[in-house]
Amino acid sequence: MKQRSSPRWSLCKATASLELVASTVFLAVLFNFIQGAKAQSYPNYSPVRYQLLHTYEGPSFFDQFNYYSDDDPTKGFVTYVNKNTAHALNLTSTTSTTATLRVDASTPSPSGGRNSVRVESNNTYDSGLFIFDIVHTPYGCGTWPALWLTDGANWPKNGEIDVLESHNHGSHGNEMSLHTTPGCSMGGERRQVGSAVESNCDVGVGGNAGCAVMGYRSTYGVGFNAGGGGVYSLEIRDAGIRIWNFPRSSIPADIHNGSPDPSTWNTPLADFPSTNCDIASHFRNLNIVANIDLCGEFAAMSSHYTQMYSCPGSCSDFVANNPSNFADAYWEFGGIRVYRAS
């Protein structure tokens, strides 16, 4: 005779099966939660030892740069001159300790745009620690200066990092930003003293605003220059990109002695963690670029040129007809040092 299971035994088996399924589902959910939490957690900026790689300073400073002399891609009222012209017009010059890059402040009424300079380093970088000693930042109505890293031939594929950027009088502070292809954003925890403006770094979003961080007023222009400038430091590593600003009077001793250690420094001015951005895949083959654009798509905007700074007339007319306005439109560098992880 075929035996039948008792109702009680069948119920127990069903209950056990349900408990097993529930346990399996719970463990799967827990695993996914943990993995998701790990993926979204703040990156580990563990200490890194850095070794000096390149030095840009003194009389040989500009020997290590190419002079860009093509049309301005941002439609500025500017003529970027070549090396010979820049030297002849004293738009780039050096001393034993400094290098200066300036806008032409003497030629009256240039028809095609005022002469200026854009230089791009011969060396390229994927990562590292960059120490920029800056004595003076450019400012004045119509100016759009920047110190940045990018791969111009492969933009935006290889990314853009704006270390210093401002416009017109620049007294609103320094704007630091990243510009990338899709898939890089700055949501989540950030440890910085600057103010986040945008979170999506994709150049196709928001008119290429990038993911920006605003510094306080003394991080650029007259306020920055008044104290003798200072040091900006940029760190690029897989964990993220960070930017510090040190006024001249409070530059860390380890920078002075050539052994910089970011793990001992205060909270950075800007923090771009890798939480939602694969840094290594978005930033590579980067040149150091310094330039002073005039007007263009940024400085000539009415919200910047007229409303924020009450600059007169149209930007291009002002730039053409007021050469003396550009007496303070110059970068002066005490030097640039680039370190690599050892």
Residue 225 lies in a domain: yes
Flag whether pLDDT at 22 surpasses 60.
no
Q: Is 165 a catalytic residue?
A: yes
Q: Give the confidence band of 150 by pLDDT, cuts at 50, 70, 90.
A: very high
The pLDDT of residue 30 is above 60: no
Cite the beta strand spans of the chain per DSSP E.
Answer: 50-56, 65-67, 78-80, 92-94, 99-102, 114-116, 118-121, 128-136, 143-150, 160-165, 175-179, 195-196, 211-214, 230-237, 240-247, 270-273, 287-294, 330-341
pLDDT band (50, 70, 90) for residue 181: very high
Q: What is the pLDDT of residue 18?
A: 47
pLDDT in tens, 66-95: 999 999 999 999 999 999 999 999 999 999
* Phi, psi (deg, nearest 5) at residue 258: 80, 20
Cis preceding-peptide flag for 156 (omega within 30 of 0)? yes
> What pLDDT was estimated at residue 16?
45
Question: Helix (H, G, I), strand (E, B), or coil: what is residue 23?
Answer: helix
- pLDDT higher than 90, residue 301: yes
Residue 19 lies in a domain: no
Q: What is the DSSP string of 278-311?
A: -HHHH--SBEEEEEEEESHHHHTSHIIIIIIT--
- If pLDDT is split at 50, 70 and 90, which confidence band does 146 have? very high
Task: Report yes or no on 121 lying in a domain.
Answer: yes
- 200 domain residue, yes or no: no
Which residues constitute the domain of residue 121? 48-176+213-235+284-341
| Cα 201 from Cα 148, distance rounded (Å) | 15
Q: How far is CA 22 from CA 16, 30, 34, 36, in A?
A: 10, 12, 18, 21
What are the angstrom distances between the C-alpha of 287 and each of 64, 98, 113, 154, 194? 11, 20, 25, 11, 25
Q: Give kind and range of the element (H or E) at residue 160.
A: strand 160-165
Q: Which amino acid is at 16?
A: A
Return the number of other C-beta atoms located less than 10 Å from residue 306's C-beta. Answer: 16
Statement: residue 270 has pLDDT above 50: yes
Catalytic residue among 57, 120, 160, 175: 160
Q: Please give the share of the chain, as a percent, with pLDDT higher than 90.
A: 87
Active-site residue, selected from the candidate residues 165, 175, 235, 332? 165
Task: Label residue 187 by pLDDT band (50, 70, 90).
Answer: confident
Q: What are phi and psi of 298, to 5 degrees?
A: -110, -60
Alpha helices by DSSP H, listed for 71-185, are 83-88
Whole-number percent of the chain with pLDDT over 70: 88
pLDDT at res. 19: 54
Residue 56 confidence (pLDDT): 98
With a cut of 80, say whether residue 33 has pLDDT above it.
no
Predicted local distance difference test score (pLDDT) of residue 149: 99
Average pLDDT, integer, range 115-140: 98
Does 331 fall in a domain?
A: yes
**Mean local confidence (pLDDT), 161-172:** 98
Q: How far apart are CA 175 and CA 215, in angstroms?
A: 6
Instruction: Give me the CATH number covering residue 60.
Output: 2.60.120.200
- Say if 279 falls within a structural domain: no
With respect to residue 324, please indicate whether it lies within any of the assigned structural domains: yes
Domain count, the chain: 1
Give domain status of residue 254, yes or no.
no
Q: Give every CB contact of residue 130 below 8 A, 6+ residues apart in sequence.
A: 149, 163, 233, 234, 235, 236, 288, 336, 337, 338, 339
Task: Determine if the pTM surpasses 0.85.
Answer: yes
Residue type, 201: C
